[in-house]
């Protein structure tokens, strides 16, 4: 349990629990090549229109379909109730994960920028009195400080942090992305994650245990045309997570987790109607919840994929 952070074991090193492959190193995680496949298809369409290729050589490797085996499921079920902080909780992956964890009896601390989606989630989530769902913006350091203070007062210091809040730029060539739009991606995906860590890791240090899960992406280990700000932000999350893993004391661990390819609003903004070909958030959430709950200190510093 007190294992110190370790160096990634290299591009080919990996281990698996059930059918979910856990890879170490920048390109270690086996994950779907759907990103490249879709972008290559779209690139062919654009070349036919004289617009140039949309995709390129990625470095993502294809592997078996995602899934969580019996060992991981048993470990997750045996872990007991946990308190899980989820940023960006009001929609997409965050909302689906919150509903799934609540259904399993875990307490959710969740934040989002908008009040109405929070109220909608409160009306749907199981055992609403157990959870703390509130309006807070990860882009604001002071907002995260206030959230951390509230969590301490409510005695709901998280056992697990899921840095899920994220955004993507509209499809555009790098030099045509407006400065404000680029800033929004960086402020949310990178600086937002850092703001959460700044105020919540110290709380975990006091407890002497905790799992920190920073949501990455297939495009945090590969790349594609027209989403350079997003790719850059997720590559940054991979590096940030590895550095953090080296800094944490025994009892804490940090993992970069790619959700795989899931039909969300963000995917639709890139793939259009083709996003509907991929798994829904409702299909994804049970697999993600089981994997997250089964993570151990031995996963510190790893780059994993649901």
DSSP 227-275: -HHHHHHHHHHHHHHHHHHHHPPTTEEEEEEE--SB--HHHHHHHGGGG
Interaxial angle between packed helices 115-124 and 92-103, expressed in degrees from 0 to 180 and rounded to the nearest 10: 30
- Does residue 255 contact residue 213 with C-beta atoms inside 8 Å? yes
| Interstrand relation of 252-258 and 303-305 (parallel, antiparallel or unpaired) | parallel
- What is the three-class DSSP state of 295? coil
Query: Of 39, 200, 230, 235, which residue is the catalytic one?
Result: 230
* Non-local CB neighbours of 83 within 8 Å, separated by 6+ positions: 106, 107, 108, 109, 156, 157, 158, 159, 160
DSSP type of residue 279: B
Angstrom CA distances, 181 to 58, 184, 221, stand at 24, 5, 22
Cα–Cα distance for residue pair 200/196, rounded to 1 Å: 6
- Residues 137-163, buried b or exposed e (16+ Cβ, 10 A)? bbbbbebbeebbeebeeeebbbbbbbb
278 is catalytic: no
What amino acid positions are annotated as catalytic residues? 230
């Amino acid at each position: 349990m007190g294992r110190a952070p370790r160096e990634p074991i290299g591009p080919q090193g990996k281990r698996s629990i059930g059918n979910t492959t856990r890879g170490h190193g920048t390109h270690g995680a086996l994950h779907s090549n759907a990103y490249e496949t879709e972008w290559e298809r779209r690139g062919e369409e654009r070349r036919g229109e004289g617009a140039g290729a949309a995709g390129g050589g990625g470095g993502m490797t294809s592997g078996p379909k995602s899934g969580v085996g019996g060992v991981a499921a048993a470990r997750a079920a045996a872990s007991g109730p946990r308190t899980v902080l989820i940023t960006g909780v009001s929609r997409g992956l965050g909302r689906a994960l919150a509903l799934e964890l609540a259904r399993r009896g875990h307490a959710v601390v969740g934040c989002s920028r908008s009040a109405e989606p929070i109220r909608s989630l409160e009306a749907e989530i199981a055992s609403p009195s157990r959870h703390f769902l509130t309006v807070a913006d990860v882009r604001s350091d002071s907002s995260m400080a206030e959230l951390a203070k509230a969590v301490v007062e409510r005695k709901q210091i998280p056992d697990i942090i899921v840095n899920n809040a994220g955004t993507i730029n509209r499809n555009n060539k790098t030099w045509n992305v407006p400065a404000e739009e680029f800033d929004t991606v960086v402020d949310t995906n990178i600086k937002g994650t850092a703001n959460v860590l700044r105020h919540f890791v110290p709380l975990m240090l006091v407890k002497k245990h905790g799992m920190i899960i920073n949501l990455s992406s297939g495009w945090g280990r590969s790349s594609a045309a027209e989403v350079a700000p997003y790719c850059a932000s997720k590559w940054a999350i991979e590096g940030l997570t590895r550095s953090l893993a080296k800094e944490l004391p025994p009892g804490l661990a940090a993992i970069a987790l790619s959700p795989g390819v899931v039909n969300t609003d963000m995917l639709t903004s890139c793939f259009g109607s083709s996003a509907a070909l991929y798994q829904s958030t409702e299909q994804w959430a049970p697999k993600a919840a089981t994997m997250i709950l089964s993570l151990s200190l031995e996963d510190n510093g790893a780059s994993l994929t649901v």
